[in-house]
Amino acid sequence: VDRKEAAAFLGTTTEAIKELIQKGALLPVSQKRLKLGAMEVDGEWEIEDEQFDAFQKAFNDEEPGRHPPAWVIRSLSVEARHRCGICEQPLPLQFHHIIEWSKLKHYEPAWMIAVCGGCHDKIRRGEIDRKSQEQYKEKLRLRSADVVALDAQFQSLIATSAALPILKELLRDMQRVIADGADAASIGSDYTFVRIEEKNEINRVSVEYFDEYVLEDEVHVAAFDKLIKDPQNHAIKESYYCVAADLRERLLSLSANGIGFEFAFIKLRDHIATIVGNMNSMELRMLKALIAFMYVNCDIGRKA
Ligand SMILES: [Zn+2]
């Protein structure tokens, strides 16, 4: 390892590593001074893996549990691409136990996450709860190579949908009806018939994400609700349920692969837009709102 890597592993700066090499640090219990072994090569330091592991082990032996083994640190750092797993800033990393050390003495990377000092403090203060931590971890996991494969699979799944031509028409009709008769005051955000918190949990959608994704288009989402329920719009309603049924089936096979809806929301819109082609910004906005409506109306996604 070089100085930079050592700094990343220990969640500190390259300057601090220089200090550790030249002056060492006091061990927490015995208060003995220990230097990090290194070899000077062309004015820079090379630290052998063994030297690095021995240094960490000395600290761990005195205070078991506070210093994860190098392989765990390496694995978590790589997973997070050497950025904070929460705020994504390239800051020195700390290694948080999602399943608390006090509850289970583990170094299981699957239950740990690399975070910066600031986010680690937020966790300690309870501002980032356990469920959020798990979702950040899940995001890191999904960002790996599997996602690329799943994305391609999802794309071909959507591409074969017979409902897409109907969808394009549907968007046009909805746009027209909303433009004609949308009375903002009468459009409430009444989808309280669905227990949305529960539905989000089952479909792995965080509250923040839902607020950002769905509530941004709340007016349109509510307008769709009104539009579908109006007996005058019988034809629109039929097209709507035809499209929704088709997408529901496709999404079910996706969720069988363990993909949460946060991923599906975005990908569904992007892939449909690509395949349908030539969608203007208004149609894209409508499409996003339509997908959100299908979700809150429980026509797609797992039900609460
Ligand atoms: Zn952070």
Per-residue pLDDT reduced to its tens digit, 75-125? 888 888 788 999 988 788 899 998 887 777 778 888 899 999 999 999 999
Q: pLDDT digits over 259-287, tens only?
A: 677 778 878 888 898 888 888 888 888 89
Query: How many angstroms is it from 128 CA to the middle of ligand 1?
Result: 11
Burial of 6 (0-12, 13-18, 19+ CB in 10 A): buried
Mean pLDDT value across residues 280-295? 88
Query: How confident is residue 185, by pLDDT bands cut at 50, 70 and 90?
Result: very low
Query: How many angstroms is it from 69 CA to the middle of ligand 1?
Result: 22
Q: pLDDT digits over 207-247, tens only?
A: 777 877 777 788 888 888 888 888 888 888 999 999 999 99
Query: How many angstroms is it from 114 CA to the middle of ligand 1?
Result: 9
Query: How many angstroms is it from 241 CA to the middle of ligand 1?
Result: 43
Query: How many angstroms is it from 7 CA to the middle of ligand 1?
Result: 17
Q: Are 226 and 291 in contact (CB under 8 A)?
A: no
Query: How many angstroms is it from 219 CA to the middle of ligand 1?
Result: 33
Query: How many angstroms is it from 133 CA to the middle of ligand 1?
Result: 12
Query: How many angstroms is it from 95 CA to the middle of ligand 1?
Result: 11
The pLDDT of residue 121: 94
Query: How many angstroms is it from 27 CA to the middle of ligand 1?
Result: 28
Average pLDDT score, the chain: 82
Query: How many angstroms is it from 269 CA to the middle of ligand 1?
Result: 29
Burial 141-172, CB ≥16 within 10 A → b, else e: ebeeeeeeebeeebeebbeebebbebbbebbe
Residues with C-beta atoms within 5 A of ion ligand 1: 84, 86-87, 116, 119
In the chain, the percentage of residues whose pLDDT exceeds 70 is 89
Which residue has better confidence, 193 or 69? Answer: 69
Which residue has better confidence, 294 or 153? Answer: 294
Mean pLDDT value across residues 8-29? 81
| Residue at token pair 């004609």 | 180
The pLDDT of residue 115: 95
Which residue has better confidence, 290 or 261? Answer: 290
Q: Are 283 and 167 in contact (CB under 8 A)?
A: no
pTM: 0.54
The pLDDT of residue 241: 93
Give CA separation, 276 vs 71, 149, 165, 177, 204, in Å.
47, 22, 7, 21, 27
Query: How confident is residue 184, by pLDDT bands cut at 50, 70 and 90?
Result: very low
Query: Cα Rg for the chain, rounded, in angstroms?
Result: 26
Query: How many angstroms is it from 116 CA to the middle of ligand 1?
Result: 4
Two structure tokens written together for 10: 């220990």
Query: How many angstroms is it from 205 CA to the middle of ligand 1?
Result: 21
Q: pLDDT digits over 147-170, tens only?
A: 667 778 888 888 888 888 889 888
